[in-house]
Amino acid sequence: MKAQTSLEYLFMIATVFIIIFVTLFAYNRGYLPTALSLGGKVDKSQLQDNAQLIISQLKIKGDWNALKSKTVSLSTSNGATTCTVDGTSYSGTRPGTIDYSTDGKTLEEIYNDCMDGEAGACEVIICALGTE
């Protein structure tokens, strides 16, 4: 009975080592880092899609030409960021802090940054224009 228990423990320990070695192999070969980085690309792509949809809707309504030269002000309070398009009624709030500087940038420049892959710029577009 003791021999069987010892073999079972030995088998479990061997299994743990095999799992550790397989994980290390996958990490060193780049499989895991690639899989983890793809998750970030999907999130950025979703933000770009949402921003594109908002801008498309504004173009259809005929509001984009008047808005694209406006600037956006950001303010953070109580763990949320408020985005206000200066000189308009467009304003919105998103949870968390948006990691993007809008200083001196127009909505058109922010949108272009978003399409160039800047996730923070997409968040600003969604925050400022997505609520109206």
In a domain, 94, yes or no: yes
Average per-residue pLDDT in the chain?
A: 83
In a domain, 30, yes or no: no
For the cut 60, the answer to whether the pLDDT of residue 36 exceeds it is: no
Dihedral in degrees, nearest 10, Cα atoms 26, 27, 29, 34: 100
Give the residue, 60 or 25, on which the prediction is more confident: 60
Which stretches within the chain are classed as H helix?
2-29, 31-61, 64-67, 107-115, 119-129
In a domain, 113, yes or no: yes
Residue pLDDT, tens place only, 62-104: 999 999 999 999 999 998 999 999 999 999 998 989 889 999 8
In a domain, 36, yes or no: no
Q: Which helix (H) or strand (E) holds 85?
A: strand 80-85
pLDDT band at 40 (very low <50, low <70, confident <90, very high): very low
In a domain, 12, yes or no: no
The rounded radius of gyration (Å) of the Cα atoms in the chain is: 24
In a domain, 124, yes or no: yes
In a domain, 114, yes or no: yes
Structural tokens at position 99:
């990691």
pLDDT of residue 18: 79
Tally of domains in the chain = 1
